[in-house]
Amino acid sequence: MRQHVTFEITGDERMHCDACAQRVVRSLGMLEGVIEVAASPVTQQVDVDVDPAVASVEQVGRRLEALGYRARRV
């Protein structure tokens, strides 16, 4: 089973370039239960597919915060 969620980066710290977005993709991709991640510095959005039996949307949000980004679900 797959759950899709989109986060928007809302804080002062933004993804400024493709390297920032790739850092987010790599970090979230290491979470167990994360199936697919896409991040865009243009839209300031992070799209994540998770297996809800293994990972929660809250875990993904906490990882974004650990990376220094404030994000909200869209």
Nearest to 70 by CA among 8, 4, 27, 6: 8
pLDDT in tens, the chain (74 residues): 899 999 999 989 999 999 999 999 999 999 999 999 999 999 999 999 999 999 999 999 999 999 999 999 99
How far, CA to CA in Å, does 58 sit from each of 17, 20, 50?
A: 25, 21, 11
All structural domains of the chain, each given as residue ranges with its CATH number in brackets, are 3-73 (3.30.70.100)
The Cα–Cα gap between 1 and 14 comes to 31
- The DSSP code for 44 is T
Q: What is the sign, positive or negative, of the torsion defined by CA atoms of 57, 59, 65, 69?
A: negative
Dist. CA 56–CA 44, nearest whole Å? 21
The pLDDT assigned to 54 comes to 97
